Structure 1
Amino acid sequence: MKRSKWWERIGIIMAILLIVMLAGCSWSKETGNRPGAPKDGNDHSLQEDKQAEEAFDYFKYKEPVEITIIKDVPPGLKLPEGETIEDNSFSRFVKKHTNIDFKVAWYATGQDFVRKQQLAIASNDIPDVMLVDETAFRQLAAAGQLEDLTEVYNKYAQPELKSKYEATQGVALAKATYEGKLMAIPNLSGLAESISLLWVRQDWLDKLNIPAPRTVEDVEAIAKAFVGQDPDGDNQADTIGLTGSGSSLYANGYAGIHDFTGLFASHNAYPGLWLKGEDGSIVYGSTTVETREAIAKLRTMYAEGLIDKEFALRKDPNQLLTSGEAGLFFGAWWSPWHLSESVANDPSANWKPYWIADREGKLNTHMVPISSRFVVVRKGFKHPDAVMTYINWYTGGDDLKSEDEKERARAQVRFDDYKKLDPTLITALYPLYTTYVDTDVVEKTNMKLKQAISGEVKPEDMLSGDLVLFEQWQRDNANPKSNAADWSPPYAFLSGGDAVMQPADRKVFNEYTAMTKTMERKWENLQMLETETLYKIIMGEEPLEAFDAFVAKWKSQGGSEIIAEIEDELSKQH
């Protein structure tokens, strides 16, 4: 799976987390964290200190300022009338409240964006601020192209944001530190994004009198029943088993949708990740015995017609859910956003998520990196503190029930008003769009929504992001599934949230998330070798033994060299 693939998915994840990024963002006025606050040995009077404290605004820059950025926009993006990539309702809203005018130096799509960004970095022609991955961050830091943000963060980051970073026990900021200096502001991801769940048409299970799934064998049995027992009741053999995707077999770290990540995890297999073997050495997850076993299972299921026969070529597997042809797929807790058309077309569709265990009954998952995206500032930019102001504002303020926050909440859910729910609109239009959430944001939102539903918390006491969700639940509860836009968010946090709140028996982290020198030269070819081989094995075009040949080729064509480089880099970090 190419590096860009998981980011396409995470763009969707970021859009659906947008509302809840505000949920935990109340902050206390901690004098010691404010510029101008009293320090031991200074000569300011207490009155002067108080005036300086009151005058400082974490969320609005002291004067109008322009910041140049670049944008990675989705292919085929259709903007509402009067909106452009640079000048739109979101950019105008940001400018109004922060005094920051973001100017788009250029934009591109997918791999074109990646290539253009790499060229800009190589020629030292970068914008004032960029959002980059870890590889680009380390490349920029090593080349001396970045502004040191240590003092900017210490002086200007709002206290609530600092508390979020502190909750990671230093992991997030360490990822953004180079040679002892904080050279970027890292994003913060919810760890629930890691878990791949099996989403099932519960109404079909009930009709066929099939118990809830727990193991891979249960998944096989359900797929077989959905293919052969007419679960939709139309007297036609037109339903399929498990969906798949031609774009990827698995998701790297994050839980994707319509891939087989959950099935791999049920075999304790983590393809695409760099794992630590029993002897402490690094192993590539796609080459392990466990991955071979999972591929063998997928090969058998495909041969028996339990997986969509066209999965490798199907451009939009979600259409199978919308049309009612499929009732079984692996996806993240946020999958209800992709099920909105399914329930709109068929309100009887009752989707339920299940975490599939391994043969020992254990729940396994790979883990999303706490930080994988980095806001970096061009060395020499005169207003790095303005970048911190934007991030402060983006992550919330002191009074989340203020009119400003209410206006912000309305603006951020404006995409509901568009003819078709398209989260990519917000990810494309919002400046420096990434996540800064509590690592347990899904679990916290789940509990707060339940408290509101039970009456433990009054609406007037709720924060704006939580209130939006509760109001959506109220409307959907009064008229179930009459408006899919109201059904999806609260259902995701309630049903998906319940599923991911089960304690995992095994959590596997990626040991290495950057790129080595050999990876830069050979990774694309190695990924092509892996993708072609594994797809062919699953679809019966190659025997299972081709997996062993793939592992040998992978090692000889650069894999062993890459592992040595990773181990060398990791040894320097400890």
Structure 2
Amino acid sequence: MKKGSISLNRFMFVVVLAGFLVLSACSSNSSNSGNSGGNEAETPGANTAQNNSEALQVIESENAVKDGKYDPPITLTTVRTQENTVKFTDGDSIQNNVWTRAYEEEYGIKVKTLWAVDSSQIDQKMNLTIASGDIPDFFRVNATQFKQLAEAGMLADLSEVYNEYASERVKSLLTEEGTMALDSATIDGKLMAIPFTNPSREGSQMVFIRTDWLDALKLPEPKTMDDLMKISEAFSTQDPDHNGKQDTFGLAVDKDFMLLNGFFNSFHAYPDIVVKDSDGNLTFGATRSEMKSALAKLNEMFKSKQIDPEFGAKDITKVFEMIANGKIGMMYYAYYAGLYPLQAAKDKDPSMEWKAFPIMSVDGNPAKSQVSLGVNSYWVVKKEVEHPEAILKMLDFWVKTFYENTSDEIYQKFNTAPEDGNQVWLLNNMAAYKAFKNIEESLRIINALETNETSKLTPEDKGVYEKILKFQSGDLTNWSWNLIFSKGQALSVSNYYRTNNLYMNDEFSTSPLESIVQNAPALSKLQAETFTKIILGLSPIEEFDTFVKRWLELGGNEILADVNEWYKTKK
């Protein structure tokens, strides 16, 4: 199972640039803009279009697409990270591997990697590259860098190229969650990048509950938020592990509140995203009254010892250790919790059982999971590149090879599952992630488990299917795959959200505004400190109103004015 990265706090933490950057760029040969030489002379009208780069791109692109393969081949330069999970064998390298050979064999595209560095070095190198103005033909950047390059006039307009040359499979992938991803890559009506989409909806939080503790306390599975709160209290006070001590907690809480989005969403509170208010204006979710109600409930739970009193000093890894040690019985997390941290907990205590449930509403209105834009970063093309459509060819190859392939041979050649220790799929030079890939995989696997018909399974599907069969035969090391993919388990909850469209979108879908960059750090710190003090009881719940006032005074008013001005132009 492979997944895209899950965007955490687009609005408040957008200034932390390194968290988003995985590829960057620099070029020592920018004059070689992607054509090896002979193609230009064969292109009708090329001489009269030499001083019109947009016309030249369209004319040459049409010629290239007719043949399906560039002849003679073109060369595109790029830069990237060097993934430490990729092992080169048989003389392969970052310059010459199964992906680069496939691009050349199928499309006549030679990819030349100018440099590849560890991800920890990318941010500094990319900023220097942008400052130098010397960039490669195509590369991947974060939202801030995308905006900088576009404003500097260094990027190609991909509008016509995308409309004419993007395959249906590529367009389907990029618009699976709607048009917001493409909208975020559009500046002044021009598509200036191809968004690297990731599955934000599929990664919505759900609530995982220890069902062996439910059985021990003779409690039914929850159907309402009241049921859930009674379970949390029982897990904290009724000795569910029968060790004679009151040393367990109902709800997992970490110092950064990464494990609480689902809880907040149950109260119709949406921290760290921008939502519409009752008047249709954009506002920040963490400052709404619903957040105050959620914090009041958390303070109540803290007072009744349902939350670890030391949560304010524990990051998510420390909380996961407590779960593995059998100290917490309920956790909000994404569908892949089975792999981490719950498989480690199961390994330590084989009697432990968990089950995933949808988030539950505090009232009669449906609970909706907050979702971010669903864009990890952006693929950009240098303005002077003669064949910008080439990146769409490579993206099409990615989709059909990574998602549509049913051949075991091709799977082993290009993908190589992570459990085999060599993530060859990371060598691709152009990619984006499907929004609901794992949900769809789960549905196919469920059908195969029910019918014993495996002909529609992809090679990756078959790998998960076989793991579940091993679990069903008693192999607990594969317990997590069953928790994730089987009927009624985690991805079934994700599919319930999808089927019923139970999402609250982040309405802010553009590159960061200057007011956000300037004010976000202070506002983020204020929010974290205030929420922690309220939950711990160090500040009364009324402090939330003071927080909102200070948030607005310390830059929030400026941010909201800018965000709403942007929203008017978007509409």
TM-score category of the 2 structures, normalised to the smaller one: 0.7 to 0.9
What is the letter of the counterpart of residue 545 of structure 1? E
C-alpha RMSD of matched pairs (Å) = 3.8
Shift of 1:443: 3.7
Aligned to 2:133: 124
Aligned to 1:249: 257
SS in 2 for 1:280: coil
SS in 1 for 2:356: strand
Shift of 1:534: 1.4
Aligned to 1:180: 189
**Is 1:148 the equivalent of 2:144?**
no
SS in 2 for 1:557: helix
SS in 2 for 1:501: helix
Contact 1:275 1:284 in 2 (8 A): yes
Contact 1:152 1:385 in 2 (8 A): yes
Aligned to 1:290: 290
Aligned to 1:468: 463
Aligned to 1:351: 354
Cα separation, 2, equivalents of 1:201 and 1:61: 60
What is the letter of the counterpart of residue 552 of structure 2? K
Cα separation, 2, equivalents of 1:297 and 1:262: 14
Contact 1:91 1:431 in 2 (8 A): no
Cα separation, 2, equivalents of 1:66 and 1:163: 25
Match runs of 1:186-265 below 5 Å? 186-190=195-199, 192-193=201-202, 195-246=204-255, 248-250=256-258, 259-265=259-265
What is the letter of the counterpart of residue 495 of structure 2? M
Cα separation, 2, equivalents of 1:520 and 1:5: 5
Cα separation, 2, equivalents of 1:153 and 1:326: 49
Cα separation, 2, equivalents of 1:290 and 1:61: 61
Match runs of 1:99-138 below 5 Å? 99=104, 101=111, 103=113, 105=115, 107=117, 113-114=122-123, 117-138=126-147
Q: Which of 450, 453, 457 does residue 449 from structure 2 map onto?
A: 453
Contact 1:296 1:544 in 2 (8 A): yes
Aligned to 2:535: 538
Distance 1:474 1:506, change over 3 A: closer
Contact 2:174 2:181 in 1 (8 A): yes
Cα separation, 2, equivalents of 1:351 and 1:221: 17
Aligned to 1:501: 495
Aligned to 1:479: 474
Aligned to 1:16: none
Match runs of 1:364-403 below 5 Å? 364-381=368-385, 384-397=388-401, 400-402=405-407
What is the letter of the counterpart of residue 379 of structure 1? K
Shift of 1:304: 2.0
Shift of 1:330: 0.4
Cα separation, 2, equivalents of 1:154 and 1:507: 29
Aligned to 2:311: 311
Contact 2:21 2:142 in 1 (8 A): no
What is the letter of the counterpart of residue 296 of structure 1? A
Shift of 1:184: 1.2
Q: Which of 333, 336, 349 does residue 335 from structure 2 map onto?
A: 333
Q: Which of 397, 402, 411 does residue 406 from structure 1 map onto?
A: 411
What is the letter of the counterpart of residue 148 of structure 2? Q
Cα separation, 1, equivalents of 2:382 and 2:85: 29
Aligned to 2:268: 268
SS in 2 for 1:373: strand
**Is 1:56 the equivalent of 2:68?**
yes
Match runs of 1:37-76 below 5 Å? 56=68, 63=73, 65=75, 67-71=77-81
Stretches of structure 1 that go unaligned for 5 or more consecutive residues are 13-35, 37-51, 251-258, 419-424
**Is 1:517 the equivalent of 2:514?**
yes
Shift of 1:498: 1.6
Stretches of structure 2 that go unaligned for 5 or more consecutive residues are 1-8, 23-42, 44-63, 105-109
Shift of 1:134: 3.5
What is the letter of the counterpart of residue 98 of structure 1? Y
Distance 1:376 1:466, change over 3 A: same
Identity among equivalent positions (%) equals: 26
Cα separation, 2, equivalents of 1:304 and 1:104: 59
SS in 1 for 2:471: helix
What is the letter of the counterpart of residue 284 of structure 2? Y
Contact 1:190 1:442 in 2 (8 A): no
Aligned to 1:279: 279
Contact 2:17 2:144 in 1 (8 A): no
Shift of 1:280: 2.0
TM-score (norm 2): 0.77
Aligned to 2:554: 557
Cα separation, 1, equivalents of 2:252 and 2:177: 36
Could you tell which deviates more after superposition, 478-487 or 557-566?
478-487
What do the CA deviations read for 1:73-122 (whole angstroms, capped 9, x no partner)? 8xxxx758779xx957x983322433455636364657x75565445434
Cα separation, 1, equivalents of 2:518 and 2:386: 36
Cα separation, 1, equivalents of 2:323 and 2:268: 28
Contact 1:188 1:371 in 2 (8 A): yes
What do the CA deviations read for 1:12-71 (whole angstroms, capped 9, x no partner)? 9xxxxxxxxxxxxxxxxxxxxxxx9xxxxxxxxxxxxxxx989636xx997484632243
Contact 2:197 2:375 in 1 (8 A): yes
SS in 1 for 2:147: helix
Shift of 1:211: 1.6
What is the letter of the counterpart of residue 71 of structure 1? T
TM-score (norm 1): 0.77
How many pairs were matched up?
507
SS in 1 for 2:173: helix
Distance 1:543 1:150, change over 3 A: same
Aligned to 2:302: 302
What do the CA deviations read for 1:143-164 (whole angstroms, capped 9, x no partner)? 2121222344345433322233
Aligned to 1:255: none
What is the letter of the counterpart of residue 67 of structure 1? T
Contact 1:194 1:365 in 2 (8 A): no
Contact 2:326 2:345 in 1 (8 A): yes
Contact 1:61 1:386 in 2 (8 A): no
Distance 1:404 1:377, change over 3 A: farther
SS in 1 for 2:97: helix
Aligned to 1:529: 526
What is the letter of the counterpart of residue 501 of structure 1? N
Distance 1:9 1:372, change over 3 A: closer
